[in-house]
Structure 1
Amino acid sequence: MTVRRALTALALMASLPAAAQQQAAAPAVAPLPRVALDTTAGRIVIEADTQHAPVTAGNFLKYVDGKRLDGVVFYRAVKVAPQFGFVQFGTNGDPKRVLPPIKHEPTTQTGLHHTSGAISVARFEPGSARGDFTISVGDQSPSLDADPSKPGDNLGYAAFGHVVEGMDVVEKILDTPVSPTATVNGAFKGQVPQQTITVVTARRVPPAP
């Protein structure tokens, strides 16, 4: 850009109202990435918040981009009340699928919460999360959020996005009858769906315009 053109551009900026100048100077924010889980129960589209939870959302996208979620199942459905609970899917410790654990991003840091449709990463102790994910049905904030006022492990779970399409599919999975005796690796008795619901593919789709 020549000096003359630069001066002209500055003069035009100076003639704009203050609000317009701020809008013109503000950098464009890239749309958040979206992922479609095409399951045997229907399609679920998730928007991953890489802006507020870059580590946790980025970890989910690594599993998606590596096709590590293709063929996994929804192995847990915890229904506390009608349209309230969560479903869980993921690698379930499969050594051929899991990636290294990630740093914990508590909700007090990200500003995200476990509202209905929120997707979160399952964990044991903070910093142990890998490739297992839950989707909330019903508002479960603050019970699953971090709460520094509580004793012990009060860091909650790391929410990193939300369902933007297909909550009816999530609710259908939550409503699937569970086995009274089946377990997953000896855990989740009374929470394992009788019907196998599989993630056929997990792929990025175009973000919101």
Structure 2
Amino acid sequence: MSASVFVTLETALGAFTVELFADRAPLSVANFLAYVDSGRYDGSSIFRIVNPDNQQAEDPVRISVIHGGTRPLAADNLPMIALETTAQTGLSHRHGTLSLGREEADSAEGDFFVCIGDQPHFDHGGARHPDGLGFAAFGHVCAGMDVVEAIWACAGAEEYLAPDEEIVIVRAYRQPRSL
């Protein structure tokens, strides 16, 4: 059996599929799949779209991502998980990489982001997070990157979208076979 798992996220703007690297980032993949399998992503949204133009001025590192899933600290989120750094997994934040959001180390829940362009400052030792531990890359978009880029193109003047402008994630589900 392959260590990769495939998940499709159907959004209001179209679908994209991610390949998850369970052999390299088992905790992060298991966490993401727990949200998928429990239906917690169904009806959630892409609620933040960041580009260099709408990013907060005090942020020292310019990023480009779409950010969605469940909101941090939502009452029905699953328990937080340990951080699997890119130093541990050997993965890196490149164009299309899927990664878990976090505030502190070991605080990832159900929110995730997809990189637009290479984003090495999210890797272990990178400058995006003050602790230098980086973020947990655990997969990549393998189909529908045009949809991800169309979502990214919906960025507004602010990083966080107004509730009525969020991009709905209609449903998320495992693919029955590899793509």
Give the structure-1-normalised TM-score: 0.74
Letter in 2 for 1:196: E
The equivalent residue for 1:157 is 135
Question: What aligned pairs does 1:44-193 form with structure 2 within 5 A after superposition?
Answer: 44-80=16-52, 85-92=64-71, 93-96=73-76, 98-141=77-120, 143-147=121-125, 153-178=131-156, 180=157, 190-193=158-161
Asked if the contact 2:51/2:155 (under 8 Å) is kept, the reply is: no
1:158 shift after superposition: 0.4
SS in 1 for 2:142: strand
Asked if the contact 2:105/2:133 (under 8 Å) is kept, the reply is: yes
Q: Does 1:204 align with 2:174?
A: yes
1:31 shift after superposition: 4.8
Structure of larger gyration radius? 1
1:152 shift after superposition: 5.5
Question: What aligned pairs does 1:26-41 form with structure 2 within 5 A after superposition?
Answer: 29-41=1-13
Identity, % of aligned positions? 39
Distance in 1 (CA, whole Å) between partners of 2:97 and 2:155 is 22
SS in 2 for 1:64: helix
1:148 shift after superposition: 8.2
SS in 2 for 1:198: strand
Structure having the larger proportion of residues in helix = 1
The equivalent residue for 1:15 is none
Distance in 2 (CA, whole Å) between partners of 1:175 and 1:129 is 26
Unaligned runs of 5+ in 2: 54-62
1:108 shift after superposition: 0.3
SS in 2 for 1:172: helix
Asked if the contact 1:148/1:155 (under 8 Å) is kept, the reply is: yes
How many residues end up aligned between the 2 structures?
A: 167
The equivalent residue for 2:56 is none
Asked if the contact 1:33/1:206 (under 8 Å) is kept, the reply is: no
The structure 1 segments of at least 4 consecutive aligned residues displaced by more than 4 Å after TM superposition are none
